[in-house]
Structure 1
Amino acid sequence: MPTAIDAERLQRLLLDGPLEVEGRLVEASNFVLRVWIDSDGERIPAVYKPVRGEQPLWDFPEGTLAGREYAAYLIARVGGWDCVPVTVLRPDGPLGAGSVQQWVGPLEPVTENDLLRIDPVAAVPSDYLPVLGVHDEEDQPLVVSHAAHATLRDVALLDVVLNNADRKASALIVDDDHLYAVDHGLTFHAEEKLRTVLWGFAGETLSQREIGRLEAVRDALAGVLGETLRGVIQQDELVALRNRVEDLLQTRQLPAPPDYRHPLPWPLW
């Protein structure tokens, strides 16, 4: 249920408005809260992820996930991806610094959608792209596939740019025919860590529209955006981000899954 407030005003409200805590989202692996902001008689829901509630990870620097959520929004905005909800990095939430993001979708979180499927081999829809083969408890072959929507391909390209290590199906939210992508805490690592359920687009040639997005990100990283990100992600991660964008502009195709590591998140949903 995205608000009708324009993005700039919403960004100010998320950054400066008083946050009323409703409660914890227990499905999240970290400590995540739903909060409300009052604005001119309208109550706006948002997701607040305090830094102090982040679980330590062996491969990501401690206390950096909220900043990565904000950095992902900045990249998406510059590149013209409208799939990432408005996000801010707030220094003074009820539990201290953290990210605050516009709530999208129904108020009761939906953990499954039809964007990703598991079917017997003969039952895979013709308009779905296969991702991998698996077997059920009776050792019957099944296929994991995802829809071939252009909006999903937009997310797939954005995830390559962000080096998203955790693109699950549950982090894709459809609301009023608009696709949103959330949960960008595990992004921007200096090492290649892309783990996604959207590998069905692998190897496809980038369109001129997609190349234009990458060029916009490249140019922004050479200016104000690059300076902004210096205070949000680490220097080696910023260098790796620039290199990924340049590599995409040179190859002009979406990458294939690596064969030297597991390329999928767990769980898939």
Structure 2
Amino acid sequence: RERSELRPWFAELAAFDVVANNADRKAGHVLFDGSRCWAIDNGLCFHEEEKLRTVIWEFAGLDVEEDLLEHVNAFAHGETGRVGSWLSPAELHHAQERARGLVENALYPHPDEDSDWPPYPWPLI
């Protein structure tokens, strides 16, 4: 957050987490090697049930950049690359639905405080 040059990278990661339905984006799952960031993920992504839990909520309500929306839209409409072959048909369907929702709204979502799932993973790190 202190390094403004990393903001576009975190914006992309936040969009990925929405589409992937990441249920476990903790601060410790982002590594910085001094020149670039690395997102570390686990098996808590791409679930059919909505479970988005992340520590990257500072983009909530902000516009998603147009060039990023183009990539998300391509995924939503079938350009799934390798990830499409790694997901079950149901997981892929729901990921594409989330991608379409992100494109249609063109805004990063707000945390769903009324969900059965808290919007933040625990522990945070």
CA distance in 1, matches of 2:48, 2:40: 21
Question: Is residue 168 from structure 1 mapped to residue 26 from structure 2 by the alignment?
Answer: yes
Partner of residue 114, structure 2: 260
CA distance in 2, matches of 1:184, 1:212: 26
Partner of residue 75, structure 2: 217
Equivalent AA in structure 1 for residue 121 of structure 2: P
Task: Give the unaligned 5+ runs of structure 1.
Answer: 1-114, 116-126, 129-147
Aligned length: 120
CA distance in 2, matches of 1:204, 1:179: 22
Deviating runs (4+, > 4 A) in structure 1? Answer: none
1:161 shift after superposition: 1.1
Q: Find the residue that maps to 2:10 and give its secondary structure.
A: helix
Equivalent AA in structure 2 for residue 255 of structure 1: P
CA distance in 2, matches of 1:225, 1:246: 19
CA distance in 2, matches of 1:233, 1:212: 22
Equivalent AA in structure 2 for residue 265 of structure 1: P
Higher strand proportion (structure 1 or 2)? 1
Q: Find the residue that maps to 2:58 and give its secondary structure.
A: helix
Partner of residue 244, structure 1: 98
Q: Find the residue that maps to 1:220 and give its secondary structure.
A: coil
1:225 shift after superposition: 4.5
Of 20, 33, 42 in structure 2, the residue corresponding to residue 184 of structure 1 is 42
| TM-score, structure 2 as length reference | 0.85
Q: Find the residue that maps to 1:238 and give its secondary structure.
A: helix
Give the percent of matched residue pairs that are identical in Structure 1 and Structure 2.
34
CA distance in 1, matches of 2:42, 2:79: 20
Q: Find the residue that maps to 2:31 and give its secondary structure.
A: strand
Task: Give the unaligned 5+ runs of structure 2.
Answer: none
| TM-score, structure 1 as length reference | 0.41
CA distance in 2, matches of 1:250, 1:199: 19
Two-structure CA RMSD over aligned residues (Å)? 2.1
CA distance in 1, matches of 2:72, 2:41: 21
CA distance in 2, matches of 1:233, 1:209: 25
1:235 shift after superposition: 2.2
Which structure's relative contact order is higher, taking Cα pairs within 8 Å and 6+ residues apart? 2
Q: Find the residue that maps to 1:151 and give its secondary structure.
A: helix
CA distance in 1, matches of 2:88, 2:124: 28
Residues 52-89 of structure 1: CA deviation (Å, up to 9, x unaligned): xxxxxxxxxxxxxxxxxxxxxxxxxxxxxxxxxxxxxx
Question: Is residue 235 from structure 1 mapped to residue 94 from structure 2 by the alignment?
Answer: no
